[in-house]
Amino acid sequence: MDGRYVRGRAFNLTLLATAQASQGEPEQAATVGRQALDLTVRLNSARSVRYVRDLTRQLRPQVDLPAVRDFTAEVRERLPAAAGHAAPR
Protein backbone atom coordinates (compact mmCIF):
# COMPACT_ATOMS: atom_id res chain seq x y z
CA MET A 1 0.00 0.00 0.00
CA ASP A 2 1.17 3.51 -0.80
CA GLY A 3 2.80 5.12 2.25
CA ARG A 4 0.74 8.26 1.78
CA TYR A 5 -2.43 6.42 2.80
CA VAL A 6 -1.70 6.03 6.49
CA ARG A 7 -5.36 5.87 7.53
CA GLY A 8 -6.12 3.14 5.01
CA ARG A 9 -3.08 1.17 6.12
CA ALA A 10 -4.19 1.51 9.75
CA PHE A 11 -7.65 0.20 8.80
CA ASN A 12 -6.20 -2.70 6.84
CA LEU A 13 -3.82 -3.70 9.61
CA THR A 14 -6.58 -3.59 12.21
CA LEU A 15 -8.88 -5.66 10.03
CA LEU A 16 -6.08 -8.18 9.43
CA ALA A 17 -5.45 -8.40 13.17
CA THR A 18 -9.17 -8.88 13.80
CA ALA A 19 -9.24 -11.75 11.29
CA GLN A 20 -6.20 -13.31 12.95
CA ALA A 21 -7.87 -13.08 16.35
CA SER A 22 -11.01 -14.71 14.93
CA GLN A 23 -8.92 -17.56 13.54
CA GLY A 24 -7.31 -18.35 16.87
CA GLU A 25 -4.04 -16.49 16.37
CA PRO A 26 -4.10 -13.96 19.23
CA GLU A 27 -0.32 -13.46 19.40
CA GLN A 28 -0.13 -12.61 15.71
CA ALA A 29 -3.21 -10.40 16.08
CA ALA A 30 -1.48 -8.49 18.88
CA THR A 31 1.67 -8.04 16.78
CA VAL A 32 -0.25 -6.69 13.79
CA GLY A 33 -2.52 -4.71 16.11
CA ARG A 34 0.54 -2.93 17.49
CA GLN A 35 1.48 -1.86 13.96
CA ALA A 36 -2.04 -0.48 13.52
CA LEU A 37 -1.80 1.29 16.87
CA ASP A 38 1.48 2.94 15.85
CA LEU A 39 -0.30 4.45 12.85
CA THR A 40 -3.57 5.23 14.62
CA VAL A 41 -1.99 7.43 17.28
CA ARG A 42 -0.70 9.67 14.47
CA LEU A 43 -4.14 10.13 12.91
CA ASN A 44 -7.20 12.24 13.49
CA SER A 45 -9.61 9.37 12.89
CA ALA A 46 -12.34 8.29 15.27
CA ARG A 47 -12.94 5.19 13.15
CA SER A 48 -9.30 4.11 13.40
CA VAL A 49 -9.47 4.49 17.17
CA ARG A 50 -12.72 2.50 17.28
CA TYR A 51 -11.20 -0.32 15.21
CA VAL A 52 -8.23 -0.68 17.55
CA ARG A 53 -10.49 -0.62 20.60
CA ASP A 54 -12.74 -3.24 19.01
CA LEU A 55 -9.68 -5.42 18.48
CA THR A 56 -8.71 -5.15 22.15
CA ARG A 57 -12.24 -6.19 23.14
CA GLN A 58 -12.03 -9.18 20.82
CA LEU A 59 -8.69 -10.19 22.33
CA ARG A 60 -9.91 -9.79 25.92
CA PRO A 61 -10.49 -13.56 26.46
CA GLN A 62 -6.78 -14.17 25.66
CA VAL A 63 -5.44 -11.42 27.93
CA ASP A 64 -3.49 -14.05 29.89
CA LEU A 65 -1.10 -14.34 26.92
CA PRO A 66 1.88 -11.98 27.31
CA ALA A 67 1.62 -10.59 23.76
CA VAL A 68 -2.07 -9.79 24.21
CA ARG A 69 -1.57 -8.36 27.69
CA ASP A 70 1.26 -6.11 26.46
CA PHE A 71 -0.73 -4.95 23.44
CA THR A 72 -3.79 -4.19 25.57
CA ALA A 73 -1.68 -2.20 28.03
CA GLU A 74 -0.07 -0.27 25.21
CA VAL A 75 -3.48 0.59 23.75
CA ARG A 76 -4.65 1.87 27.15
CA GLU A 77 -1.50 3.95 27.50
CA ARG A 78 -1.28 5.42 24.00
CA LEU A 79 -4.81 5.59 22.66
CA PRO A 80 -6.41 8.05 25.08
CA ALA A 81 -4.21 10.80 23.63
CA ALA A 82 -5.17 9.82 20.08
CA ALA A 83 -8.84 9.55 21.00
CA GLY A 84 -8.77 13.12 22.29
CA HIS A 85 -7.74 14.33 18.84
CA ALA A 86 -10.16 12.25 16.83
CA ALA A 87 -13.10 14.18 15.50
CA PRO A 88 -16.45 12.40 15.67
CA ARG A 89 -17.83 11.31 12.29
Name the residue ranges covered by the structural domains of the chain.
Answer: 6-85
> What confidence score (pLDDT) does residue 87 get?
42
> What confidence tier does 73 reach under pLDDT thresholds 50, 70, 90?
very high
DSSP secondary structure letters along 13-67: HHHHHHHHHHTT-HHHHHHHHHHHHHHHTTS--HHHHHHHHHHHHHHGGGTTSHH
> What confidence tier does 48 reach under pLDDT thresholds 50, 70, 90?
very high
> What confidence tier does 89 reach under pLDDT thresholds 50, 70, 90?
very low
> What confidence score (pLDDT) does residue 82 get?
54
This prediction has a pTM of 0.85
pLDDT tens profile 8-37: 999 999 999 999 999 999 999 999 999 999
